[in-house]
Amino acid sequence: MGVVEQRTARVEKFRRMQVDGQSLKRLVDAGLTWLRTNQQIVNALNVFPVPDGDTGTNMVLTLQAAWNEVKDSGTHNLSEMAALVSRGALMGARGNSGVITSQILRGFSRGVHEKATLDKETLVKAFGAARDTAYKGVVRPVEGTILTVIKEVAIATEAALESAQDVIEILEVAVKAADEAVKNTPQLLPVLKQAGVVDSGGKGLFFILEGMLRHVYGESLETPTMSVQPLSSMNLQDAMGEVEEGQDYEIVVDFVPEGDLDLISFYGRLEKMGTSIQVGEGEGMYRMHIHVPTEKRYEPIDYIMGIGTVTKVAIENLLAQMDDIQKSSQMQFTAVEPGQIAVVVVSPGAGLSRIFASLGVAAIVPGGQTMNPSTQDILNSFENLPTDKVIILPNNKNIILAANQAKQVTVKHVAVVPTRNVPQGLAAMLSLIPDGDLDVVAEKMTKAIANVKTGEITVATRTVEIDGVNVRDGQVIALLDGKLVVSAESVEQGVMELLEKANAVEHELVTLFYGEGMSHGEANHIKDVIGRKYANLEIEVQEGGQPHYQFLISIE
């Protein structure tokens, strides 16, 4: 039987089945699998050339949480299964894309409420409810994003309801509409067009829907649609964000293949060994990244030695690293009495966590760029504190929605101060009055964050032009309050040009928080360079310990 005949037979079999709770569970698993297969494609669709492309990771972990909620459920009731999917996604949501995905699934659940099985009318209604819930969950919806994609899916399926034969045809319409909507996102959001990418969250939603359809067709969910990426865009630090069961070792191998590399075959062999597979290519050299269980830690190396020349190997014990991180994060926090305000902050580095602890926070949630905490992580940080008054400082624009979602699922009185970076969070902490009124203190903190400018120094992950700034892959770049303003040939040059853009001469204090890749001596050297140019400035150097960013800079 040929491929076409096999697909036809598979579809006809699916048509004869009742789409119940167990069918939905299999569709969710397929959507998750296909999204994970193409995770790095979604991650690479980052507007700014900074090492924080984590949309695909956030969406995978969100959908993984939904799957964990339903994988052992034996219910055949569609409504009950959808409610479990929604609950798992809600608590596991990470980053803006993950939170919106959870709202889409929440709306879908509402659309199939009290339905035992799925028919075409119910599926169309569910897509409409998914759209409505997602839009209501965002204060200021932006078109050209995942919101637009779910909206176009709802519109297209509503228009196809009368002519469609069944659920399968509605799903086909949904996948086609999602694909077209994703391709059109740069026309709706200028920053995407400027960066030459489509919306990453929308692309992730497309892969989820396409994975479900591929399951119906009986097509492979393991071979990615785009199998290689530039070496510079490989974000291997994501490994520490979530170490799954069986991911004991991280293996990275640089190699030069003998002849052309058969990527499909290459991926196929690696998938039998482990997970979190990435492959990068640059100037004829390839880099392979994989997570494997202990007993398979040498298999990828042996395999690659048989197909090319290995130039470099790195093996890291992920579980040991996670244990070290957990030990280093143990510190003394301010004791909170009943009735007092407890402040919970998200911190991307051990040094920054120590600073926050010294300022009186009650709990710290590890996270930041490329490692956004989930709604459940944030909720767990304060649920057992002996007070019902809580302020959350997300300290990252991609964590604010998850913080707000945690606020909505607790009985405690919670205020989210929308800090978009660490310097804003530190400025907000200076307004803490533990015995004060929650709303008054939160308002003072919100006002305080307007008094600080924030600089970020990192290395570009790709070549692009944004806001008139030409950036080459590998260059040092600087962002001021989230906007790309400088490309430079050195960290020192990047810092100095950033301060000039920030009109540092008009300010009083600059604090340099150096990252895990910088030494105290290097940071002090740059402090001296700044001091020679800006005699008016008080300059402080603090260990931040954050990954990816050589400096976070507070300008006050």
pLDDT tens track for 246-304: 567 888 888 999 988 888 888 888 888 887 777 777 667 888 888 888 888 889 999 99
Rounded Cα–Cα distance for residues 298 and 286 (Å): 18
pLDDT in 10s for each residue of the chain, 556 residues: 566 777 777 777 777 788 899 999 999 999 999 999 888 888 888 777 776 668 888 999 999 999 999 999 999 999 999 999 999 999 999 989 999 999 999 999 999 999 999 999 999 999 999 999 999 988 888 999 999 999 999 999 999 999 999 999 999 999 999 999 999 999 999 988 888 889 999 999 999 999 999 999 988 887 666 445 554 445 444 434 444 455 678 888 889 999 888 888 888 888 888 877 777 776 678 888 888 888 888 899 999 999 999 888 878 776 655 554 454 445 778 889 999 999 999 999 889 999 999 999 999 998 877 678 999 999 999 999 999 999 999 999 999 999 999 999 999 999 999 999 999 999 999 999 999 999 999 999 999 999 899 999 998 887 888 888 898 888 999 999 989 999 999 999 999 999 999 999 999 999 999 998 788 999 999 999 999 999 889 999 999 988 889 999 999 9
In 93-145, which ranges are continuous DSSP H helix? 95-111, 120-136
Contacts of 185 (CB under 8 A, 6+ apart): 144, 145, 148, 149, 192, 198, 199, 202
541 vs 489: CA distance, rounded Å: 22
How far is 64 from 71, CA to CA, in rounded Å?
A: 10
Q: Map out the domains of the chain with their CATH numbers.
A: 3-217 (1.25.40.340), 229-323 (3.30.70.1150), 329-451 (3.40.50.10440), 453-555 (3.30.1180)
State how far the Cα of 84 lies from the Cα of 250, in Å rounded to an integer: 32
Residue 513 CA to residue 401 CA, distance in Å, equals: 26
Token output for 11:
């579809």
247-261 pLDDT per residue, tens: 678 888 889 999 888
Tokens of 481: 């309050």
Q: In the chain, what is the greatest distance between 2 CA atoms, to the nearest angstrom? A: 80
* pLDDT value, residue 222: 77
What is the reported pLDDT for 243?
A: 44
Do 130 and 154 form a contact (C-beta atoms < 8 A)? yes
pLDDT recorded at residue 431: 94
Q: Which helix (H) or strand (E) holds 495?
A: helix 491-501
Q: Which residues contact 528 (CB under 8 A, 6 or more apart)?
A: none
Coil vs helix vs strand at 315: strand
Beta-carbon contacts of 237 under 8 Å, excluding residues fewer than 6 positions away, are 51, 370, 547, 548
Measured from the Cβ of residue 468, the count of other Cβ atoms closer than 10 Å reads 8
d(CA 50, CA 48): 5
Tokens of 162: 């009368």
Give counts: helices (H), strands (E), the chain.
21, 17
